[in-house]
Amino acid sequence: MEENSRGISPRRSKRRTVHKIAAANEPNLFDELPDDLVVSVLCKLSSSAASSSDFFNALLTCKRFKRLGFHQLVLSNVGSKVLAVKAKNWSDSVHRFLIHCVNAGNVEACYTLGMIRFYSLQNRGSGMSLMAKAAVKSYAPALYSLAVIQFNGSGGSRTDKDLQAGVALCARAAFLGHVDALRELGHCFQDGYGIRQNITAGRRLLMQANTRELASLLKSLVKQQPNHHHHHRGLNYEQFNCISGSGCSSMSNEPASEGHPVNVFLKEWFELGLGEMGEGLRLCSHKGCGRPETRAHEFRRCSACGTVHYCSRGCQALDWKLRHKLECIPFERWLE
């Protein structure tokens, strides 16, 4: 049998050509899928992806994914993990993507971009408008953030504080189960801050906040347990005491409750020097917050040591439990 210059017999070459033609004529099953089905799959991906890179890498696999990935339904379902962006990676393209999500009605994107514009980009009006858009749809973090702004008069002067509005927003967020709002509202009731003092109601709200926080912490610890049969005993007595604070020598070893990704963004933004803070302005001393002062002496300081400053009573109470309790030295002892 004669062979061509490549050492392939004419019969074999003809057989390969026939197979290629047959493959080319076979229908592409993926192309035959209706757009609605592909959009449904992408909606599930956008809401459950573990990171933005997972979502965008999937869109780059084919032109159809890339086109349908910016469908309004897909963008409206993008979750917080996809919207989570590192401050060092902030760019115009990231900003545009967030705007696309906002225009699609994504509540998470409204809140995220609102916080970034209000605090990082110092576009106060636009930032508050976006957070209000999320708050109208009963998004608890937006309600709580607007309450903090009202309590502090952020973006304005001391006379711009509206304690009653802050309490109302905080109460709505607390009703939706927001832990920080429950804690803040509890302290407002205890102190009579913006509302008639009711110590009993305040204690009840603080107990609800602690219960929700403890339940969240227990859930995260259970997830960390290896899935082996000899680890099914659950938490031991020492772990329970450390979580509850009843027998742990150092509460600083307790993992803090997981904050919103935008708070991490704010903290990185100012710590990396990507945004300028005015002279004498400070970040909230609670490590999981990231909110900056918008004017001098906006935040309250620890009445004992005076070295730390907080945007809210909620942040102060949480930081006291997690860290500051071990570090606070009353001012009088400095003089000894």
115 vs 225 pLDDT, higher one: 115
Residues 288-304 pLDDT 10s:
999 999 999 999 988 88
Residues 74-100 pLDDT 10s:
999 999 999 999 999 999 999 999 999
pLDDT of residue 304: 85
HEC string of 176-240 equals CCCHHHHHHHHHHHHHCCCCCCCHHHHHHHHHHHHHHHHHHHHHHHHHHCCCCHHHCCCCCHHHH
One-letter amino acid at 45 equals L
Residues 19-47 pLDDT 10s:
555 455 566 677 788 999 999 999 999 99
Tokens found for residue 279: 């002279």
Lowest mean pLDDT among 118-122, 179-183, 332-336: 332-336
pLDDT of residue 11: 61
Question: What is the percent of the chain with per-residue pLDDT over 90, rounded to a whole number?
Answer: 62
Asked whether the predicted pLDDT for residue 204 surpasses 70, the reply is: yes
pLDDT of residue 100: 97
Query: How much is the mean pLDDT over the chain?
Result: 84
Whole-angstrom Cα distance, residue 313 to residue 155? 19
Tokens found for residue 154: 């952020």
- With residues binned 3-state (H G I as helix, E B as strand, rest as coil), the percentages for the chain, rounded to 5, are 65, 0, 35
Residues 102-113 pLDDT 10s:
999 999 999 999
Mean pLDDT of 193-217: 92
Using pLDDT thresholds of 50, 70 and 90, give the confidence band for residue 326: confident
pLDDT of residue 8: 53
Using pLDDT thresholds of 50, 70 and 90, give the confidence band for residue 322: confident
Reduced to 3 states (helix: H, G, I; strand: E, B; else coil), residue 300 is: strand
pLDDT of residue 224: 67
Using pLDDT thresholds of 50, 70 and 90, give the confidence band for residue 205: very high
Using pLDDT thresholds of 50, 70 and 90, give the confidence band for residue 139: very high
pLDDT of residue 9: 59
Residues whose CB is less than 8 angstroms from the CB of residue 102 and which lie 6 or more positions away in sequence, other chains included:
109, 110, 113, 130, 133
Residues 250-272 pLDDT 10s:
333 334 455 799 999 999 999 99
User: Cα 112 vs. chain centroid, distance in angstroms?
Assistant: 8
The dihedral over CA atoms of 118, 124, 130, 133, expressed in degrees to the nearest 10, equals 120
Sign of CA dihedral 133, 277, 316, 86: positive
Using pLDDT thresholds of 50, 70 and 90, give the confidence band for residue 327: confident
Global pTM reads 0.81
Using pLDDT thresholds of 50, 70 and 90, give the confidence band for residue 219: confident
Burial of 290 from C-beta contacts in 10 A (0-12 / 13-18 / 19+)? buried
Question: What is the percent of the chain with per-residue pLDDT over 70, rounded to a whole number?
Answer: 79
